Amino acid sequence: MCCIISDNTKKIMAQKKMILDLDTGIDDALALAYAVGDPNVDLIGVIASYGNTYVETAAQNSLNLLHLLGADEVPVFLGESHASTADHFDVMPISQLIHGKNGVGEVTLDVAPRGVEKQSGVDFLIASAHQYAEDLIFIPTGPLTNLATAIKKDAEVAHLIGNTTLMGGALTVPGNVSPFTEANIHQDPEDADYAFTRQKNLTMVGLDVTLRTLLTKTETAAWRILGTSAGEKYADLMDFYIDAYYNLDIDKKGAALHDPLAVAVGIDPTYVTTMPLAMHVTYDRDSGDYGRTIGDKEKLLEPTTTKAAILVDTTRFVSDFQKMMLTVLA
């Protein structure tokens, strides 16, 4: 007699395990939904970071969104609350305009029954790296403070994690904080440099490709038609994001799928064309290009496992993303 294996069981049986490191704003919420919905990975945890909002708010947003998506089984851990070179963190006003003061477009979400785990996010990452090694996919979509802190605490982390795909940086296009600097890298350039120059099997999914992946209210209208609470809430927060892009003159054609593209590339690298490049991050404040992600000219002839995404199959990704969202929000 044959038995039917549920989709949730298939995810648990998936060889590849995924950890998200989110400063949970709106595009992080999309990344979370993508990871929950993709049957090829088992989302084993979320580490909260700072950036779009404060770390505690990011953690609660992740818990509430997981609850909305019917994924309360996924644990959420607190990461570092500020850059290693700072003693506090303040949310930038532009971040509140783009993501809302609560990080999720001023949308009210039901409070999750599950709370934040007692184990720190850094210790969870270290333990998972040792447990899953090459089968672990790590996706940081905010500053790289948690990753750098983990490597400083246990240098083996840099070699153990099979796939680190980050959303951040800009190589071939201007930054969105300065002419050189992208927002996630800008939060902690020192630790970004520490991670870039040590972490093996690292792929940068930066503004070079994410700005080419736009979602519009045509897609969010289809989420509403699903008639589910998840569909309506996600449409509300994404419409807030699209309106912010329009009103702030960031892009009047739609809003970029920054963080979900990083998740998708972490699972299926063929969405992008990459260039092998040993990179570092400039963190000298007097250099004129503070926070710049750029190739290290001293290592141009050395082998590297670090890559920068420079082109993306826009049509395929946006189509696949919409199909995934229609499934996970149903």
pLDDT digits (tens, 9 = 90+) for 22-54: 999 999 999 999 999 999 999 999 999 999 999
Rounded to whole angstroms, the maximal C-alpha distance in the chain is 71
Q: Does any domain span residue 24?
A: yes
Residue 2 lies in a domain: no
1: in domain: no
> Is 258 annotated as catalytic?
yes
Task: Kindly report the backbone phi and psi dihedral angles of residue 92, in degrees, each rounded to the nearest multiple of 5, phi listed first.
Answer: -70, 140
CA distance 259 to 252: 19
Residue 219 placed within a domain = yes
pLDDT > 90? residue 4: no
End-to-end CA distance of the chain: 30
pLDDT tens digits, one per residue of 320-329: 999 999 999 9
21 carries an active-site annotation: no
pLDDT score at 286: 83
Share of the chain above pLDDT 70, in %: 96
From the list 186, 236, 239, 258, the catalytic residue is 258
**Residue 5 counted as domain residue:** no
164 class by beta-carbon count within 10 Å (0-12 exposed, 13-18 middle, 19+ buried): buried
pLDDT band at 288 (very low <50, low <70, confident <90, very high): confident
Number of domains in the chain: 1
Q: Which amino acid is at 181?
A: T
Average pLDDT across the chain, whole number: 95
Residue 150 lies in a domain: yes
The predicted-structure confidence for 187-236, as pLDDT tens digits, reads as follows 999 999 999 999 999 999 999 999 999 999 999 999 999 999 999 999 99
The enclosing domain of 271 has a CATH number of 3.90.245.10
Give the pLDDT mean for 63-70. 98
Among 21, 23, 191, 208, which one carries the catalytic annotation?
23
Q: Name the pLDDT band for 109 (thresholds 50, 70, 90).
A: very high
Q: Which two tokens stand for residue 231?
A: 């569909």
- Which structural domain range is residue 293 located in? 10-328
Write the CA distances from 305 to 50, 58, 64, 144, integer angstroms.
Answer: 27, 31, 36, 18
Distance between CA atoms of residues 37 and 41, nearest Å: 9
